[in-house]
């Protein structure tokens, strides 16, 4: 693939948190590629390492206790991990911006929303303050808030509106890559629909690439072109949405689908994944999912599964596929 077509490349990233209770292996050697102008979904449950991955890309891992042990992150040609803080400040906002989960805490309560948008414009562009405020108003209009409300303080806005402001701040410098970390988890469904549509439309008109972190496979199906499924700090399956949803390969991904109530078939039985997510300070040897996996064999507990490429875009990390006849239940039907 031509490097010009790649917005973000993460190579062999390892993130750990060293605490008194042991070392938390948050991200264990992951590879991730986001193509330009496409949307990659990063799916996983609490503690899978999704947020740590996002923070590493932003070079914002809190240190201590966090350490990026290994890996390369290439953001639109910039090697961010080797950058100085001052250089990184210029990249953040301009090249990559982030939308956080909780719009309530992402805004400064003592500044008006107009000032907050203008502030991030001024960080990257040499324009006057009045011009920046004018731009801020335009940004507000674009995310569907009346420009007159630029003088409002965050507490005067509802949750959905605050998330719109956060999106305006993230997009005001037209970043190449937008990282959205559970952008709608704190919002109601009808507001979620509004915000997702807004993000989708803006992404189209700004030609922004996106990494969308979520636990909701429904949102992935609606928003993303490609998806990576994360479990215990590793990517266990990735591919286009079509491949992962219609030709699911990894037992964990299958488990996620089986755990979801199907809105179109209320009599379908829910089959939860048994057991719990492993302790990130003490991951099982071999495949981290093996203790919960219904297909696990002795081999699975011995070594970390290798990435197996099924097509140019579809990868699964599961030892069972070394036997060519292996099929998960979902694919037998």
Residues that bind another protein in the complex, under the rule CB under 8 A: 17, 19-22, 24, 26, 45-47, 51-52, 55, 62, 65-66, 158, 160-161, 188-194, 196-197, 215-222, 241-242, 245-246, 255-264, 266, 270-274, 276-282
Nearer CB in complex with another protein: 257/326:
257
Quick check: 137 and 127 in contact, CB under 8 A? no
Nearer CB in complex with another protein: 19/311:
19
Structure tokens at 4: 């010009």
Residues 6+ away with beta carbon under 8 Å from 251? 289, 293, 294, 295, 318, 320, 328
Q: How far is the CB of 325 from another protein (least distance, A)?
A: 25
Rounded Cα distance between 30 and 147, Å, is: 42
Q: Please, what is the Cα angle at 179 between 139 and 172, to 5 degrees?
A: 20
Q: How far is the CB of 259 from another protein (least distance, A)?
A: 4
Nearer CB in complex with another protein: 6/196:
196
Angle between helix 129-142 and helix 159-171 axes, rounded to 10 deg: 120
Q: How far is the CB of 243 from another protein (least distance, A)?
A: 9
Q: How far is the CB of 15 from another protein (least distance, A)?
A: 10
CA torsion sign, 99 to 104 to 109 to 114? positive
Quick check: 229 and 245 in contact, CB under 8 A? no
Strand (E) or helix (H) holding 177? strand 177-181
Residues 6+ away with beta carbon under 8 Å from 153? 109, 110, 111, 112, 113
Rounded Cα distance between 283 and 49, Å, is: 13
Structure tokens at 101: 């989960």
**254: Cα separation from own chain's centroid:** 20
Q: How far is the CB of 106 from another protein (least distance, A)?
A: 12
Nearer CB in complex with another protein: 93/255:
255
CA torsion sign, 304 to 308 to 314 to 318? negative
Closest among 176, 131, 242 to 34, alpha carbons compared: 176
Beta bridge partners of 92: 96
Nearer CB in complex with another protein: 31/194:
194
Rounded Cα distance between 176 and 196, Å, is: 19
Q: How far is the CB of 145 from another protein (least distance, A)?
A: 11
Q: How far is the CB of 108 from another protein (least distance, A)?
A: 17
Nearer CB in complex with another protein: 124/164:
164
Nearer CB in complex with another protein: 116/240:
240
Q: How far is the CB of 196 from another protein (least distance, A)?
A: 8
Q: How far is the CB of 107 from another protein (least distance, A)?
A: 16
Nearer CB in complex with another protein: 118/273:
273
Nearer CB in complex with another protein: 121/256:
256
């Amino acid at each position: 693939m031509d490097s010009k077509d790649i917005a973000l490349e993460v190579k062999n990233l390892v993130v750990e948190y060293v605490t008194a209770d042991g070392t938390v292996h948050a991200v264990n050697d992951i590879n991730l590629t986001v193509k330009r102008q496409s949307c990659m979904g990063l799916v996983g449950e609490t503690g899978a390492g999704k947020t740590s991955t996002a923070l590493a890309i932003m070079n914002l891992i809190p240190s201590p206790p966090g350490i990026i042990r290994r890996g390369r992150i290439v953001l639109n040609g910039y090697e961010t991990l080797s950058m100085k803080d001052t250089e990184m400040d210029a990249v953040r906002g301009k090249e990559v911006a982030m939308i956080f989960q909780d719009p309530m805490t992402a805004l400064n309560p003592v500044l008006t929303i107009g000032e907050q948008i203008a502030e991030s414009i001024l960080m990257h562009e040499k324009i006057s303050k009045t011009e920046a405020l004018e731009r801020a108003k335009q940004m507000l209009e674009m995310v569907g808030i009346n420009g007159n409300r630029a003088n409002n303080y965050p507490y005067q806005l509802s949750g959905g509106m605050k998330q719109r402001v956060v999106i305006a701040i993230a997009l005001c410098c037209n970043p190449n890559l937008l990282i959205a970390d559970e952008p709608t988890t704190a919002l109601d469904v009808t507001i979620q629909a509004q915000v997702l549509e807004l993000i989708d439309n803006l992404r189209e008109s700004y030609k922004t690439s996106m990494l969308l972190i979520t636990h909701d496979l429904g949102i992935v199906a609606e928003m993303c072109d490609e998806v990576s499924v994360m479990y215990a700090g590793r990517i266990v399956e990735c591919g286009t949405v079509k491949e992962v949803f219609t030709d699911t390969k990894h037992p964990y991904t299958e488990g996620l689908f089986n755990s979801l109530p199907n809105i179109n078939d209320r009599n379908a039985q829910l089959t939860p994944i048994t057991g719990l997510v492993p302790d990130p300070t003490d991951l099982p040897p071999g495949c981290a999912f093996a203790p919960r996996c219904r297909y696990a064999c002795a081999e699975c507990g011995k070594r970390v599964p290798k990435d197996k490429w099924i097509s140019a875009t579809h990868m699964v990390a599961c030892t069972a596929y070394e036997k060519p006849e292996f099929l998960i239940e979902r694919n037998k039907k």
